[in-house]
């Protein structure tokens, strides 16, 4: 069928027989794609007198924006924080595999590690090159090879000793009052960094928060014993995220709610939303606590997997960062303890569990994994929605929110 477009010769695909998530509602409507972006069919009709070249029947499924995971430490045997020879290869493997979970973009997360993990010596073509890990991780939009990398999430080492969780104590750092210089000494570079998690009670951290925010890097509060007032100060300096709410922070107390209190704080600057990561695997957070947070501040809930190396692997002993962990069913512990070391639930599992535990609408559950993380990173004009002109990264689901197919730039990159 000849195409009829005066603006572009590229083929147009029309996804029919589906319900799409648009304007916060599931609507029975078709989704049109051209050149990797969502196309406005009305403009196509009236302005270009164009029509679709290809129609794809979605079998009455749900089309939602592709999921965005802003906290994932590895998976399928790959540990982003390990001194692996092939960093990009490892990331590529995980990026490819998470397409099966509906994830089309992610932030590979590095936990607290010694400086040499962030900087690294690598041999290429018989030339010994001192290479820094972070610039190697390139930001990309993803494709058939795997989900897109939005930037690295650096979780630590500027975190609290008491609340380090699975992070190794000996590599925790304090700040020397030099602002970003201190960070650059540890990290080597802040290129391609999307998020930094730090503890705001660390002296000198407020200045760091301010400078990171100025650089366009999202600052998250976590692994911290900060009280509410310290957390609010960090927010006023530019922090906008909370790393895995409830975990690795002081518990909510009615006379000092701590970081959890940010959900309903009146000190948050106007027009700013505080987002909070939730590991909705049924283990890291009791469903009742999940519901309290959700009901208190539904617009800020961001589903994260915090998935570790063992995600996707069979039960047994594996390595995360500088420590060993033990898998038992859906639980992953620091070997020899009962400290949770991370989650092995996949993103689609988290979406389903969140919807069931909170009783929220399908739309709200899907937005917690797509729209909210995109808003957190300030990229919702490109990702996280199915609005006209945005990247055509989306996922086809059934009514139980199981993933049937994943699409990046309008191309099917995975199918059940």
Partner 1 sequence: MKLIILDDYDKASEWAAKYIRNRILHFNPGPGRFFTLGLPTGGTPLGCYKKLIEYFKKGELSFKYVKTFNMDEYCVFHELVKAEISHLDMNTKDYHSFMWNNFFKHIDIRAENAHILDGNAVDLQAECDAFEEKIKAVGGIELFVGGIGPDGHIAFNEPGSSLASRTRVKTLALDTILANARFFDGDLSKVPTMALTVGVATVMDAKEVMILITGAHKAFALYKAIEEGVNHMWTVSAFQQHPQTLFVCDEDATLELRVKTVKYFKGEFLLW
* Site residues, partner 1 (CB under 8 A): 30, 41-42, 45-46, 48-51
Q: Between 49 and 400, name the residue whose CB sits nearer to partner 1.
A: 49
Q: How far is the CB of 95 from partner 1 (least distance, A)?
A: 36
Binding residues: 155, 166, 223, 244, 247-248, 255, 284, 340-342
Binding residues for Zn(2+): 155, 223, 244
Inter-residue contact 135 to 82 (CB < 8 Å):
no
Q: Between 46 and 138, name the residue whose CB sits nearer to partner 1.
A: 46
- φ and ψ of 119, to 5 deg: -100, 155
Residues assigned a catalytic role: 306
CB atoms within 10 A of CB 55: 12
The backbone region for 54, taken as left when phi is positive above 0, alpha when psi lies in -120 to 50, beta otherwise, is: beta
Any idea what DSSP says for residue 250? P
Distance CA 142, CA 96 (A): 9
User: Who contacts 389 (Cβ-Cβ below 8 Å, separation ≥6)?
Assistant: 37, 38, 40
Report which of 110, 101, 205, 98 is spatially closest to residue 142, judged by C-alpha positions: 98
Give CA separation, 399 vs 63, 84, 88, 366, in Å.
11, 40, 35, 12
User: Who contacts 271 (Cβ-Cβ below 8 Å, separation ≥6)?
Assistant: none
Q: What residue ranges in 31-151 does DSSP mark as E strands? A: 31-34, 37-39, 54-65, 67-72, 74-75, 78-79, 103-111, 119-124, 127-132, 142-143, 146-149
Q: How far is the CB of 371 from partner 1 (least distance, A)?
A: 18
Q: How far is the CB of 5 from partner 1 (least distance, A)?
A: 11
Classify strands 403-408 and 411-415 as parallel, antiparallel or unpaired: antiparallel
Q: Between 32 and 80, name the residue whose CB sits nearer to partner 1.
A: 32
Specify the 3-state DSSP secondary structure of 123: strand
Q: Between 45 and 359, name the residue whose CB sits nearer to partner 1.
A: 45
Binding residues for substrate: 166, 247-248, 255, 284, 340-342
Inter-residue contact 68 to 104 (CB < 8 Å):
yes
Q: How far is the CB of 42 from partner 1 (least distance, A)?
A: 5
Any idea what DSSP says for residue 258? G
Q: Between 51 and 333, name the residue whose CB sits nearer to partner 1.
A: 51
Q: Between 46 and 323, name the residue whose CB sits nearer to partner 1.
A: 46
Give CA separation, 204 vs 53, 183, 193, 364, in Å.
58, 11, 20, 38
């Amino acid at each position: 069928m000849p195409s009829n477009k005066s603006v572009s010769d590229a083929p147009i695909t029309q996804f029919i027989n589906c319900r799409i998530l648009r304007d916060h509602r599931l609507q029975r409507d078709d989704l049109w794609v051209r050149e990797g972006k969502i196309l406005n069919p009305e403009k196509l009709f009236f302005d270009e007198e164009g029509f679709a070249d290809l129609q794809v029947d979605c079998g009455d499924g749900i089309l939602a924006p592709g999921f965005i995971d802003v906290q994932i430490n590895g998976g399928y045997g790959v540990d982003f924080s390990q001194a692996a020879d092939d960093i990009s290869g490892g990331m590529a493997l995980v990026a490819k595999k998470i397409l099966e979970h509906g994830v089309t973009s992610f932030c590979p997360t590095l936990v607290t590690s010694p400086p040499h993990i962030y900087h690294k010596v690598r041999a290429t073509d018989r030339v010994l090159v001192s290479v820094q890990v972070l610039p190697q991780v390139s930001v990309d939009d993803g494709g058939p090879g795997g989900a897109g990398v939005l930037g690295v999430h650096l979780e630590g080492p500027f975190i609290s000793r008491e609340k380090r969780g699975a992070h190794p104590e000996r590599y925790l750092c304090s700040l020397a009052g030099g602002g970003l210089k201190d960070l650059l000494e540890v990290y080597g570079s802040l290129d391609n960094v999307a998020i930094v998690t730090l503890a705001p009670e660390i002296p000198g951290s407020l200045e760091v928060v301010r400078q990171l925010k100025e650089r366009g890097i999202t600052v998250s509060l976590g692994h911290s014993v900060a009280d509410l007032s310290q957390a609010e100060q960090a927010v006023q300096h530019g922090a906008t995220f909370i790393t895995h709410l409830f975990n690795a922070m002081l518990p909510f107390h009615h006379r000092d709610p701590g970081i959890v209190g940010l959900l309903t704080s009146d000190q948050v600057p106007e027009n700013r939303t505080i987002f909070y990561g939730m590991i909705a695997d049924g283990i890291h957070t009791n469903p009742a606590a999940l519901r309290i947070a959700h009901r208190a501040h539904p617009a800020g809930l961001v589903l994260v997997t915090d998935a570790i190396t063992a995600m996707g692997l069979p039960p047994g002993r594996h390595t995360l960062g500088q420590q060993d962990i033990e898998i038992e069913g859906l639980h992953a512990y620091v070997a020899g303890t009962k400290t949770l070391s991370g989650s092995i639930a996949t993103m689609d599992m988290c979406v389903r569990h969140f919807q069931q535990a909170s009783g929220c609408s399908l739309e709200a559950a899907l937005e917690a994994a797509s729209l909210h993380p995109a808003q957190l990173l300030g990229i919702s004009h490109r990702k996280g929605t199915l609005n006209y002109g945005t990247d055509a990264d989306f996922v086809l689901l059934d009514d139980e929110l199981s993933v049937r197919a994943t699409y990046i730039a309008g191309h099917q990159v995975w199918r059940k």
